[in-house]
Structure 1
Amino acid sequence: MEGRRLWGVFAFLCVFFLVHMAKMSRMYLVLLEQKIPFRRLLWTYLKTTFVNLVIPFKMGECYRIYCYAKDTKVFQIGLFSVGVDRFFDTVGLLLLLIPFELFFTREVTRVTGLLLVVLLFLVFIYRIFLPTYLYLNRYFILHKSSAPSMKALQWLDKGKDWFDYVKELISGRYSLILIASMAGWGMEILALLLLSFLIGKPFGMKEFSNYIGAIFLMEGSILLKIYTLAGTALIGGSMVMMYGGYRWKECKKGKGIGVMKR
């Protein structure tokens, strides 16, 4: 039995690593055109993930926006890269949850329903924005010349700039981003299964659905608490090892802290 637990711990560590490889790959694909050095991207992913684990209810997303805006030197890219990452993260999650809830439990949870409505609304806005912008832009230019019309044109142009930022972040690679999202969630389900085995708790898709509900509704969940604690320790340990390795390498060269300090 002890040997099985040791193998379970080893398997959990390996799968946990794959979970975050998939999630970091998704962010890497989103920011591919920004040409951020891989080491900096890895460090930013680790520290923002650590903050997200420590701060409840995803409030650490504000810190993520700040960090990626700093890395890219463009606030809009920082904002929309995190938004796009969260969008595809949720799409991957729902592609796993909805079929299970429809065909097995025959009950769509509140969280799943709410997330689906939000995603459909965002897709609707994205799809109608460009034709709506082209029509209104032409209409205001040809038929209106008042001060409010000029102000509306300015807001339309600002909206078009934001639309272009989002389009640039996903153009030509949204399928790869979605695959990375689904792989990440698939690996996370396996990680939760292994963790449940280690703590002696049953686990299935129903428990996973409850786990997701606990994240968004801030409900008590033993599995969520243990997984969060384990994740905080492992991500924190990875940060210490990466920072220590960098400092040791730079000390040999006689340099300062450099990028890791930032």
Structure 2
Amino acid sequence: MEPMKRYRSVLNRGFSGVNPVTYGNEDCEPGHAFGYAVREYYLIHFITRGKGIFIRNGIEHSLSDNSLFLIRPGERTYYAADKADPWSYIWIGFDGEASGGLLAEAGFTDAQCTGRFPRVRHIFEEIAEIRDQEAATELLLTAKIYEFLGRCAGAGQAVRSYPGYHAARACDFIRTNYASRIRITELAELLHLDRHYFTRIFRQEQGCTPKEFLIGIRMVRAAELLCSGTLSIQEVARSVGYGDPLLFSRIFRKKYGVSPREYRSGG
């Protein structure tokens, strides 16, 4: 095998969540080493063939094909290809404010920096095939990083089931779908929960019932739309989930003490 290293050009788009900064692949020469050194970003190497060693915090990890190693920003690390069977790998580097938390959710805690991941091999092979210097390059790389993190998280964690988690999912669903008809029974079914149990844990976590939370979200948004002055009362009602303007006006008055029309006029 002829040694080969191929860098790709990445435009730093500054994506806030996960932001790719480098990618490429290398067929290493026997004994080829890098380090000790530090990086400014997260860097993952996925080994496609051969073997080598990775040293972090004084601990040496022997790695082979379908394994990967993660380098975190500021970590002092060393890695080297085997002299008899040197490794080939695909790498991708990224930063972004969500990166550390997402890596932890995917199982890469401070103590976990290596592992065998044959189930994600195709993701890295697809990364290596992404053409650089194209309009979609960075978006495609970002999508692959998220896919990698999702695959690892999905394989390593049981389905979450605790009151705060269910309440948070319900709140996010309501915030996104308040303009649609939402039945609390259907929301409980969506979360695979008994309606009464769901209502109880929601009140425990949020201090109100799911219905009260929904009405609160709708009324806040209705007040914002009324202040904008561009929609009719009927359109505002429809935009926050009420097909009946009279019902909307009654609930709005109960919340704010004035009718939607009076609220708009500053009354």
* TM superposition score normalised by structure 2: 0.24
Larger strand share, 1 or 2: 2
Higher relative contact order (CA 8 A, sep 6+): 1
Q: TM-score, normalised by structure 1?
A: 0.24
Please state which structure has a larger fraction of its residues in helix.
1
